[in-house]
Amino acid sequence: MKLELGNININKIIKSDENKIADHTLYINEQKIIDFVLEDDRISKCTIEIANPGDKTRITPVKDVIEPRCKVDSTAEIFPGVIGKMSGVGEGRTHVLKGCAVMTVGKIVGFQEGIVDMSGPGAEQTPFSKLHNICLVLEPIEGLDPHIYEEAARFAGLKVGSLLGKLGETIEPDDMTTYETQPLLKQIEQYPDLPKVGYVYMLQTQGLLHDTYVYGADAKHIIPTILYPTEVMDGAILSGNCVSACDKNTTYHHLNNPVIHDLYSRHGKDINFMGVIITNETVYLADKVRSSDFSSKIAEYLGLDGVIITQEGFGNPDTDLIMNCKKIEEKQIKTVIVTDEYAGRDGASQSLADADPLADAVVTGGNANEVIVLPPMEKLIGQLDYVDVIAGGFDGSLREDGSIEVELQAITGATNEIGFNLTSAKGY
């Protein structure tokens, strides 16, 4: 598959009487977007706020982040099987509104949502502080079941992301990059002397709002399979989960997975990037054994020499991570795992809930238990009611002066386990 990604740089967002892009500025008609969102009768109210880099603004609780995109000259649609009709993606041409995002904000369900500060020390912990964010502040109708509300909020963000993305369909991108992965035998023949490297992409699928969708299918019901890397870059995988904010893979993360981008950057130079093996993070032991058996078997079947494995979440998924690593290593395939740590506020506790001597090459996104004080902000988008109960918060987190003392766990993207964050370290 060959995919052309064209970036249209967005430097400013302005509310206007029409939706358009001109001179690297995204103009949005607030009321048209609100009316579009409220076509879903599960949402009772939607307001739109714009948050720019450097603003003294706090956004919480953040649910998902979506990068506006559209397919160009294609029968396929972005976000297939969910917003667009079911069709394959990963080839053709896609235009991206780079530098901006749609961020869904709303009533918390459970306790695992996040905070994004647009300035100050909190902004230094999240990549989303660098974007111009269109925040959809959503309220569900009274009595709506939590999982239905989460679905409605997810759909709202994806729909608006698609709507705005289409504004760039006829605009000439500022830059264009082509990514290509050929069918297996041709790919091997192209660079026969380079080590064959694959990517085992663990998707959060523990249920109870810990879900990820592949072409619209709930990934907890799949067995590990193979995707072209370009499919991931083109909207085949979408977030639907409420895991701890620091290591949640939002939809933006999936679209901009840095492991895939970095492997492509070395493809044909010192590695032969063969493709992506997606697997799930299940709850029961038998399911974990089945999925890790399949991921290791596929890695062997592809003839891989090396594998990068990333996880999402912590605790229970640590078992899946180590199972995948151990079984792939036992097939004489070198592995590197990417994770984060929950090592206690002093950093002295065991970092992962599971371990094995074969997991001897690790990249970490940092310690999610590290404590940070977020100063008061001039503007709030969303609500602060839940700060004391979100994962990473505690009784008294929200102080009288408006400052917040929390663990990094509460900041969206702070210790992201695909490496899409601003802090990392390596250990061998």
| 270-291 tens-digit pLDDT | 999 999 999 999 999 999 999 9
Rounded average pLDDT over 225-254: 93
- Tell me, yes or no, whether 361 lies in a domain: yes
Domain around 261: 2-177+184-410
Q: How confident is the model at residue 424 (pLDDT cuts 50, 70, 90)?
A: low
Residue 39 within any structural domain of the chain? yes
Q: What is the DSSP letter of 411?
A: B
Residue 116: which of 317, 425, 419, 411 has the closest Cα? 411
Mean pLDDT of the chain: 93
pLDDT at 209 > cutoff 80: no
Q: What is the largest CA-CA distance in the chain?
A: 65
Pairing mode of beta strands 306-310, 404-407: unpaired
Question: How far is residue 224's CA from residue 290's CA, in Å, rounded to a whole number?
Answer: 9
Is residue 283 a part of any domain in this protein?
A: yes
| Closest C-alpha among 318, 426, 423, 310 to residue 372 | 423
356 C-beta neighbours (distance < 10 Å), count: 13
Three-state DSSP class for residue 9: strand
The answer to whether residue 426 sits within a structural domain is no
Which one-letter DSSP state was computed for residue 18?
S
Q: What is the pLDDT of residue 168?
A: 96
Q: Look at the chain and report how many structural domains it folds into.
A: 1
Higher pLDDT, 50 or 211: 50
pTM over 0.85: yes
CB contact at 8 A, 1 and 273: no
Q: What is the DSSP letter of 289?
A: H
- Which residues have a catalytic role annotated? 242
Section 149-177 average pLDDT:
95
Query: Which helix H or strand E contains 226, and what residues bound it?
Result: strand 225-227
Tell me 220's DSSP state: G
The whole-number average pLDDT for the span 87-112 is 89
The β-bridge partners of 272 are: 196
Q: What span, in angstroms and rounded, lies between the C-alpha atoms of 169 and 78?
A: 12
* CA neighbor of 412 nearest in space, from 243, 257, 256, 211: 243
Q: Is 419 inside a domain boundary?
A: no
Report the DSSP pairing between strands 272-281 and 196-204: parallel
Q: Mean of the pLDDT values across residues 168-187?
A: 96
Residues facing residue 202 across a β-bridge:
279
Question: For helices 285-301 and 316-329, what crossing angle results, to 10°?
Answer: 30
Question: Token pair of 388, please?
Answer: 């004391």
Q: For residue 207, is it within any domain? A: yes
Q: Give the CA angle between residues 312, 316, 322 to the nearest 5°.
A: 75
Task: Specify if 232 maps to a domain.
Answer: yes
